Amino acid sequence: PRADVPNVQDLQYVVSDGSTFVDLERDATTHTVSMPTEQALEYTVTNTAISGRYRLTNTYVTDPARATLLIKTRFQSLDGGAYQLYVLYNPSLAGGAGNDTGAWDGANGALVASDGQPVFGGTVASALKSSLAFSAHSTGYSGTSSDGYVDLAADRRLTNQYDTASVGGNIVQIGQVPVGADTTFTLALGFGANRGGAIAAANASLSAGFAAAESSYRSGWAGYLTGKPVPAAVSGDTSLRRTYRVGVMSLRAMEDKTFPGATVAGLATPWGDFVDGAALGDGYHRVWARDLYQQGTAMLAAGDAAQARRMAQWLWNRQQITTWTQGDGVWYGPGSFPRYSPVSGVSGATPRQLGCCEQLDQDAFAIVLAWQTGLTDAATWSKIKLTADHLVDFGPATPGERWEEQSGVSPSTVAAEIAGLVCAADIARRNGDTASASTYESTADAWRAALDGWTFTTTGSFGDHRYYERIEHDTNPNDTFARSLEDGTWWERDIVDGGFLDLVRLGIRPASHPNVTASLPELDAVDSVTTPSGNVYWHRYNHDSYGESQADGTGWPAGHGQRTGRAWPLLSGERGEYELAAGRSATAHLRAMANAGNAGNLLPEQVWDRADQYGFTFGEPTGSAAPLAWAEAQYVRLALSIDAGRPVETPSVVAARYGGRP
């Protein structure tokens, strides 16, 4: 299936003794995660019953030849007891569970499900099979008497078996796997455009066997990693090295297989346990130009120039707006890029799928990525010119800055705009358009000269009162203009973020620029947190509300009060790039990012930012997205930047123009 269409809500085991207990694998076991090899994105998850009764060891791979997820499972009775094992599958096909139907296919011994409502022009079906044939099975509706888990919980046995759920709804499928004291088997979850296709995938994968798929999967990843050496900054440390390799592989894995170059922001729905899954809730399964730039620069530095170039080509061939196009409550003009889009791009997308509103840094980053990947041919130049002209006419103020919440003049957005225009000027000259090149450079120069007057306050409430604001509504950073946020109304001169560091990372200001260094103490005092183990992380900005409720720990979409944005590990990476530009070490920032990872060395969007509470641990992942592709890219890029002794993303043409460190 496409990377922008999530299809599974839940897939786990249920264990019972048939009389006294029913355990959900997720809740009744302790979990350990391991990688059988660092050279493949393969995981083994070992779940041991808290009661000590049993253990489940699950190894996950995808079949490289088919649309099948394979899980090799070993079930062990640890106390000599006889147990029943069930697999519980809650499909959420075509991005939502509101229209799923399911049945038992006796001829193939498979639990099949489908959603006949097309999403992005196609339908999705699944087929769940076991190498040990299911001895009992049922398909019903979640939370009702036909729900197999509800049936099990009532009397510890699968008493009622339903062969079909033919009316669209939120279905649940369950199958009993016959096991003894120590049993190993393989589950196959196949996908297709219809049930027949899904069954064919699952059957073929099981017929070939788990060992064959695992061998092919591992060799494919090992081949991909060949010629992409691990940087010295991480090679000698297991955690740092694994986080790097997982980062490179996860960025590769998140590229859509139908539309090459389209890499989603994350294969996750942040706070998915609080999201209504009845309809398409694509979470981060969308493509943001900003995130694609971050990913592309990381892949380019890591040695995958081909994927980076595909990303740039996808932006210009599929996501650029070339004629007035309706978004979600806005119209996007020619030359702009939407807030986000499906992996297929803007063609055929609905206004909701393009979002609201335009963010000029995304327009600019598309130009920078084209320049960095050598995409400077005449055909691409004609598209770049449309966007560069749009930036000149529409900037520097943006309808939305990089956190997608406020309009105005943002240091981070203007930094991207300046870099984009300088790169556009170079591409223009390569194509003989010296007049456009002159316009772009003079505009970039003017915005650079004016930026501090627009966004550097000298009357702020923090520190010595002198620092960059997060965003300015007009051009007076010393006035008392107030912005209303979820936690109250605040003068914008007292809202601080680290976006000004982009001026250095993009080569527009040297690290030693007085206003940059003057802003660091306020940034650190207002937005940083230090964990008990010494890792330092930063918030997006003070007064951020994009996070769990401080009242009860519920996730952001739940709508509960006192929502607080937590710390973002990728901001530690951005700070690390600045430290390198300033001639200092960034090793501590790299380690902080790695320490934020989960048990699979995948990096989250946010980590808990205070003493342990609501089941969260200070400095460890919250309920936000993991892995976040932007975070993975930032880690990979920082590791390579440490080896290079400078930020590898800095466009040399920008640094050369403004005297930044190339």
Token pair 């880690």 is found at: 635
Closest CA to 500 of 565, 588, 440, 575: 575
Give the helix, strand, coil percentages of the chain, each rounded to 5: 35, 25, 40
430 CB-contact burial (10 Å; exposed 0-12 / middle 13-18 / buried 19+) = middle
Per-residue tokens: 23: 């355990």
Rg (CA), the chain: 26
| DSSP class of 538 | E
Q: Active-site residues: which are they? A: 401, 404
627 CB-contact burial (10 Å; exposed 0-12 / middle 13-18 / buried 19+) = buried
Closest CA to 401 of 360, 432, 437: 360
Closest CA to 507 of 635, 375, 418: 418
Packing angle of the helix pair 434-455, 378-394 (nearest 10 deg): 40
Residue 324 has a CB neighbour count (10 Å cut-off) of 10
Distance CA 16, CA 661 (A): 63
Distance CA 312, CA 370 (A): 5
Three-state SS across 142-206? CCCCCCHHHHHHHHCCCCCCCCEEEEEECEEEEEEECCCCEEEEEEEEEEECCHHHHHHHHHHHH
| DSSP class of 48 | E
248, HSE (Cβ side, Cα atoms, 13 Å): 30
Distance CA 555, CA 561 (A): 11
